[in-house]
């Protein structure tokens, strides 16, 4: 679905910053706010930080974006929403990739006890070293 169609479907006003932001998040999945501001400014040079922050808030509240924040990292945004997928994070460079739910249902992990909560999502973050950092580390191990 095109960004303007997504905005209308969510009953949001179609604005240039919102369209540019949706495009930026689609192009840069799991990007932080500063990266997204730079990407939006590539197409809208005069957009303010506040306009991007306001758009991030509105798009996240409307369910068009998902905000994730793995431990120790700044908040990141993605357009993949509503499917309860998880993430793998590189301990070295902070790269983030999507990991599909092992079972494929929401939630894919069932809590032993809900304590009265109506549970609708389970969050799992896998941590490790990405291929680029692994090959970089192994190539420097043999260096004097």
- Per-residue model confidence as pLDDT tens digits over 98-143: 988 766 555 567 777 888 888 877 788 889 999 999 988 776 665 5
Torsions phi, psi for 57 (to 5 deg)? -65, -50
pLDDT at 55: 97
CB 67 within 8 A of CB 31: no
**Residue 102, SS3 per DSSP:** coil
The domain tally of the chain equals 2
pLDDT at 107: 58
In angstroms, rounded to a whole number, what is the distance separating the alpha carbons of residues 58 and 12?
Answer: 8
Burial readout 1-24 (b: 16 or more C-beta within 10 A, e: otherwise): eebeebbeeeebeeeebbbbbbbb
66: its two tokens: 């998902």
Determine what percent of the chain is predicted with pLDDT higher than 90. Answer: 65
Please check whether residues 93 and 55 belong to one and the same domain. no
Q: Is residue 74, in this structure, part of any structural domain at all?
A: no
pTM for this predicted structure = 0.82
pLDDT in tens, 71-86: 889 999 999 998 878 8
User: Shortest CA distance to 96 belongs to which of 60, 123, 69, 59?
Assistant: 69
Q: Domain range holding 119?
A: 82-141
Query: What CATH number is attached to the domain comprising 32?
Result: 1.10.10.10
Query: What CATH number is attached to the domain comprising 98?
Result: 3.30.1490.190
Q: Is residue 77, in this structure, part of any structural domain at all?
A: no
pLDDT at 44: 97
User: Shortest CA distance to 39 belongs to which of 26, 50, 142, 73?
Assistant: 26
């Amino acid at each position: 679905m095109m960004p303007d169609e997504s905005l209308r479907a969510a009953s949001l006003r179609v604005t240039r910053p919102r369209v540019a932001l949706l495009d930026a998040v689609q192009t840069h999945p799991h990007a932080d706010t500063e990266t997204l501001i730079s990407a939006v400014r590539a197409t809208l040079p005069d957009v303010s930080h506040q306009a991007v922050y306001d758009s991030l808030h509105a798009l996240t509240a409307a369910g068009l974006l998902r905000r994730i924040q793995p431990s120790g990292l700044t908040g990141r945004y993605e357009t993949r929403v509503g499917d309860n997928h998880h993430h793998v994070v590189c301990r070295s460079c902070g790269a983030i990739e999507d990991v599909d739910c092992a079972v494929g249902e929401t939630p894919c992990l069932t809590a032993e006890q809900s304590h009265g909560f109506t549970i609708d999502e389970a969050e799992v973050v896998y941590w490790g070293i990405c291929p680029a950092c692994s090959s970089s580390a192994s190539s420097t191990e043999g260096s004097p």
